[in-house]
Amino acid sequence: MSKPVKVGICGLGTVGSGTFNVLTRNAQAINARAQGELEITVVGARRDNPACDLGDTRVTRDIFEVARDPEVDVLVELIGGTTVARDLVTEALTNGKHVVTANKALIAEFGNELFALAEQNNVVIRYEAAVAGGIPIIKALREGLAGNRIEWLAGIINGTGNFILSEMREKGRDFADVLAEAQALGYAEADPTFDVEGIDAAHKLVILASLAFGMPLQFSSVYAEGITRLTTQDVEYAEELGYRIKHLGVAKQSDEGVELRVHPTLIPESRLLANVNGVKNAVLVEGDAVGPTLYYGAGAGAEPTASAVVADIVDLARELGAGQQCRVPALGFATDALQDLPIVPMERVSTAWYLRMEAEDKPGVLSQIASIFSDQGISIEALIQKAPAAGETRVPLILLTNKAVQGNVDRAVASIEGLDTISGEVTRIRVEALDG
């Protein structure tokens, strides 16, 4: 038996306590898989957490002590954020410790520098829990799909947002009320605007794109739109047209470059992704050799996330036990093979569109709108015109377009909003068929 691999856990919140509990409860199977003993040598926490019983585990209130502890082989960063966490991880790497983290903000924004620092110090950073919680999507992209050119991927990668959308659709619940429940369940980020404004999904998408296409992390290039402006009305109209609205992250590679975008999306209701509900996440990956593959599971929560954290620790323990390190590069591609691929500007991105507007209920309006679309080369796929409410002269008009580049849709919408027969702004949501 090799000597125990010594683990220091920093942060004892939702994921920290979940990780402690899973490592302790499943120690026997975990050690058998790791081919050696995993020992929790120290826990760095501001305070105890009633969700876990630390027993006689050593505890320090200063997490930097863990990064300096000569006993510790692997530092597990579960405090979150990009300030103290960045300093902590930097210190751990500099001191020759491997790092496991669930922190997507840290990886998306500072991964390039941290991976380089890890390489210089001959240690590794593992971050499976950072994307789609317990789903082993990073391992799938980095290892299982290594034979493919990845064409595109699309995923529901924020559990809180999907939980909110599902509860609103299925139970007609109020947005703020469901968000509060997601926070109580430990799904949400410390700042929940990260969840509902698409920032958390953007952090995850940029990580997935780098793994898929072999490029350095480019967080500032992601287009991110959240779910806060979605209305139950749009959810219902989408259903009438045979679609569900999901918050998707999409990364696509074409001759023009890479599309990186996070936004609410209409998906045909027959697609598997349209039926992923609650805190579940799912990522659809299209490889040129394998075709489509789909990964599904819990995207947030204490133990689902801990499942991924522990898998990374086991992976590291196996490598340490075998006397090797850095078996798999941080982004799956050799560092010197990473390429700065161009990002396709949003006005060049082509999708189909759902558009809703309030129109005067009088002859000629539809033909005005049709001619604006035709001027921009956009064809209309479906149209619903609702009856006016009692005493109303305006009617909701809902259109589905065929695929069109966003620049043309922007121009068409601006012209439509300029018509005196249309009141207010046109609501616009992208549509993805997800069929290749």
Ligand X SMILES: NC(=O)c1ccc[n+]([C@@H]2O[C@H](COP(=O)([O-])OP(=O)(O)OC[C@H]3O[C@@H](n4cnc5c(N)ncnc54)[C@H](O)[C@@H]3O)[C@@H](O)[C@H]2O)c1
Give me the active site residues, please.
204
**Smallest gap, in angstroms, from Cβ of residue 300 to ligand X?**
3
Q: Is 421 annotated as a binding residue?
A: no
CA distances from 219 to 92, 245, 318 (A): 24, 25, 32
Contact yes or no for 37/320 (Cβ under 8 A):
no
Sequential DSSP letters for 279-328: TEEEEEEEETTTEEEEEEEE-SSHHHHHHHHHHHHHHHHHHHHTT---SS
**Smallest gap, in angstroms, from Cβ of residue 14 to Na ion?**
15
Q: Is 427 annotated as a binding residue?
A: no
- For residue 380, what are its two tokens? 């209309």
Q: Is 74 in the site for Na ion (CB under 5 A)?
A: no
128 binds, among ligand HSE, ligand X, Na ion, none (CB under 5 to 8 A by kind): Na ion
**Smallest gap, in angstroms, from Cβ of residue 326 to ligand HSE?**
26
Q: Is 17 annotated as a binding residue?
A: yes
Would you say 129 or 217 has its CB closer to ligand X? 129
Would you say 210 or 406 has its CB closer to ligand X? 210
* Interface contacts to ligand X, rule CB under 6 A: 11-16, 44-46, 63, 78-80, 84, 102-104, 129, 133, 186-187, 189-190, 300-301, 305
Q: Is 326 annotated as a binding residue?
A: no
CA distances from 377 to 373, 383, 385, 410, 429 (A): 6, 17, 22, 12, 19
Q: Is 104 annotated as a binding residue?
A: yes
Among residues 162, 408, 140, 142, which one has the least CA distance to residue 294? Answer: 140
- For residue 197, what are its two tokens? 């404004």
Would you say 108 or 369 has its CB closer to ligand X? 108
195 binds, among Na ion, ligand X, ligand HSE, none (CB under 5 to 8 A by kind): ligand HSE
* Interface contacts to ligand HSE, rule CB under 6 A: 133, 158-160, 187-189, 195, 200, 299-300
**Smallest gap, in angstroms, from Cβ of residue 292 to ligand HSE?**
23
**Distance in angstroms (rounded) separating the CA atoms of residues 98 and 82:** 18
**Distance in angstroms (rounded) separating the CA atoms of residues 190 and 78:** 12
**Residues of this chain that bind Na ion (CB under 5 A):** 128, 131-132, 135, 308
**Residue ranges for the binding site?**
10-17, 104, 189
